[in-house]
Amino acid sequence: MRMRSFFLGVIAGVSAAAIGQELQKPPVQRTWKGEIGGIPYNFRVNEWQEIAREYWNPSSDAILTPHAIGVGWGVNFAALSRRAQDMLETAQTQVGQRKAPVIDATTTTTTHA
């Protein structure tokens, strides 16, 4: 419970700082999108396509992407899926390249083929 309260406090603090940062700008320069302390924020109301692209963008290799709305990052599941698939294929290839032990029945010697 304490950890959850801590994270909610951090999110509220970063959100307040981001809003304050935008309000310090003249109205014509406010984009409502940027970074505060290295954490991205975006308070613009986007189209649904941008929100969907945050979570599924096959044209990007970035796994963590800035939120389409709000503070922080989202997970690009297309990139994550591709990365996991590559890792699985690499592991399967490495297993296939290992030489299986051959046991000589006439002796107790084990050799690798």
pLDDT tens track for 47-58: 778 888 889 999
pLDDT tens track for 76-111: 999 999 999 999 998 888 877 766 566 666 665 555
Does this model's pTM top 0.85? no
Q: Are strands 64-66 and 33-36 parallel, antiparallel or unpaired?
A: unpaired
15 token code pair: 């959100």
Say which residues have a Cβ less than 8 Å from residue 14's Cβ, sequence separation at least 6: 36, 37, 39, 41, 71
Return the number of other C-beta atoms located less than 10 Å from residue 25's C-beta. Answer: 12
